[in-house]
């Protein structure tokens, strides 16, 4: 079983709509959680950290559910520029980064 699992998608989202997807992790001792976005043929860029109480950054909301071992990302009012692959990243108790394979989001006009 992979350490971090994501639905690969693609999630096809009309512009202006809301999309949400999850990421599950297997190690209950995981310490920190992040969402990154990666555009085609580019490096990943930090989108947001995920805090225990949940956090919001503009149109993006991240949640952490430790009991069920998943994190989620919700994008409201989707823009064409939100089309990307969203990577879930989890650090284990040794601080090692574990990457999900990514969820592809395609926002359509």
List residues near another protein by CB under 8 A. Answer: 31-32, 34, 41-46, 49, 87, 89, 91, 94-97, 99-102
- Pull the structure tokens for residue 6: 């994501």
Nearer to another protein, 95 or 109 (CB): 95
- Sequence-ordered strand ranges (E) for the chain: 4-6, 11-14, 19-25, 32-38, 45-50, 55-57, 60-65, 70-75, 84-91, 97-99, 103-108
Q: How far is it between the farthest Cα atoms of the chain?
A: 43
Closest CB 101 distance from another protein, rounded Å: 4
Nearer to another protein, 79 or 96 (CB): 96
Closest CB 51 distance from another protein, rounded Å: 12
Nearer to another protein, 17 or 46 (CB): 46
Closest CB 60 distance from another protein, rounded Å: 15
Say how far apart CA 27 and CA 3 lie, in whole Å. 7
């Amino acid at each position: 079983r992979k350490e971090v699992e994501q639905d690969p998608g693609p999630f096809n989202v009309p512009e202006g709509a809301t999309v949400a997807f999850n990421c599950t992790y297997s190690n209950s001792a995981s310490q920190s959680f992040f969402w990154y976005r990666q555009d085609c043929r580019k490096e990943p860029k930090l989108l947001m950290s995920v805090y225990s109480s949940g956090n919001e950054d503009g149109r993006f909301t991240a949640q952490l559910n430790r009991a069920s071992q998943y994190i989620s990302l919700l994008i409201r009012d989707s823009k064409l520029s939100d089309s990307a692959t969203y990577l879930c990243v989890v650090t284990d108790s040794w601080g090692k980064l574990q990457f999900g394979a990514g969820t592809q989001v395609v926002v359509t006009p």
